[in-house]
Structure formats: structure tokens, C-alpha cells
A and B are shown apart, each in its own frame.
Chain A
Amino acid sequence: DTAVSQTPKYLVTQMGNDKSIKCEQNLGHDTMYWYKQDSKKFLKIMFSYNNKELIINETVPNRFSPKSPDKAHLNLHINSLELGDSAVYFCASSRGPTNSGANVLTFGAGSRLTVL
């Protein structure tokens, strides 16, 4: 029973293509996140949704568009892929967005995107 599941796990595509990564959580959490992990293993927040509403939108190119059809799903769509988009993208969820010590972060397994 995977708590936070991402698909696909690996994605290899050509520059200029449009691709999506899907994320689903079965924990009943209200908040979901997308993170990008670069080649130096540094995790950086991209987006955060709480109950389907966007609450964090860091400085990412507008080629990246998150979509949350319901609070259990947060998908990431990337248009016109570039070489620099190659990275591992992690989805995560937590119970809520508030600054509460009770909010444990649960990660998906990651999706490795390679743009050729």
C-alpha cells in the first residue's frame, strides 16, 4: 500500500516535448507538494497545493503547470521540455500547510526525467 505514488518512475524524452508526471496520495493529507532535486541532490520546492488550492508557487518557468483535480492528486505538466529540466521530481504530502509540528512530510519515490 504505497502512501504517495508517482508515475512514471522514469521518463526519457526529447527537447520540446510536453510531458506529465502524476502523483496520488492515500493518506488523507490536505497538502501536496512538488520538489525538484538537482544533480547535486539539492531539493527545491516548486509548488504546493492545499485542498486543491495553490498556496506556494516558487519561481519556476511557466512551462511547468501543476494541476490538482482533488486533494489526493497533484499532477505536474511540463511544456516545451528543455535540457535543464532533467532532474528527479519528488511529490510529497503532509496533513496541512500550517506551521505545525505535527505535520510529517511523506515523499513519493521520485520520477527521474531525462531530456535529450
Chain B
Amino acid sequence: KNEVEQSPQNLTAQEGEFITINCSYSVGISALHWLQQHPGGGIVSLFMLSSGKKKHGRLIATINIQEKHSSLHITASHPRDSAVYICAVRPGNQFYFGTGTSLTVIP
């Protein structure tokens, strides 16, 4: 069983829709990362959270440490948001990754 579970695995949305991707984890952590993998393969870090909520442009990430759950929201989605979104947690010296959520936003 993976330490980090994401849902949904695949998501197709119309441009402008509000999108939510969920991440649940089973290990104790002090921080959680949301990563974005572009269609070309490159990975960038979107957020690092230890509590509460963070916002960057149209992206919002929330975390509930007690419930071991985080969500990534995209408001007013756009085709350029199409990517794989990966949740990662760090309990100690290494990162555990979710299997990713593949998002396709249709114009």
C-alpha cells in the first residue's frame, strides 16, 4: 500500500471549471508538497505546506495535519493547467510520492 494516495487519478474539465485534487497520507509529516509535471516531463514545485492554506495565483492548497489530508484547488481552469499533479510528503530523510493526478482542461 502506498503511503500517499491521490484522487482522482484522471480528471478532464472544461475551461473555467473549479478543480479539486485530493491527497491522503498515512505517515506522520511536518510538510507536504504539491508538484506539477508538465506534458514535456519537467517537474516544478507548486507549494510546500505545513498547515492551513496557501494561495498562488489561481492555485490554492490546503492541508489538515490531524486528518492527514491535503487538497489542491484550481480556480478558473485553463488548458495550460493540463499536467500531472503530484502530492509528496516527507517524514524524515526521504519523500513519498502519490501516483499523480492527470488533469486535462478542454477549451
A interface list, Cβ under 8 A from B: 33, 40-45, 48, 50, 55-56, 88, 90, 97-101, 103-107, 109-110, 112
Do the beta carbons of A103 and B41 come within 8 Å of each other? no
B17-32, CB under 8 A of A: which get 1 and which 0? 0000000000001110
Give the contacting residue for B42; candidates A43, A100, A101, A109; CB below 8 A.
Answer: A109
- B31 proximity list for chain A (CB < 8 A): 99-101, 103
| Contacts A/B (CB < 8 Å), 6 sampled | A33-B94, A43-B97, A45-B94, A45-B95, A88-B41, A105-B35
Do the beta carbons of B99 and A104 come within 8 Å of each other? no
- A101 proximity list for chain B (CB < 8 A): 30-31, 48, 50
Q: Number of contacting residues on B, CB 8 A?
A: 26
Q: Which residue of A lies closest to B86 (CB)?
A: A43
- A42 proximity list for chain B (CB < 8 A): 97, 99-100
Using A42-B99, A42-B100 as known contacts, say yes or no to A48 and B93 having CB atoms under 8 A apart. Answer: yes
- Complex Cα distance, B86 from A87, in Å, reads 18
B7 on the A face (CB < 8 A)? no
Using A106-B45, A107-B45, A109-B41 as known contacts, say yes or no to A97 and B97 having CB atoms under 8 A apart. Answer: no
Known contacts A50-B93, A104-B45, A105-B45; 12 further A-B pairs (Cβ under 8 A): A41-B37, A43-B97, A48-B94, A88-B41, A97-B93, A99-B29, A99-B90, A101-B31, A101-B48, A101-B50, A106-B45, A109-B41
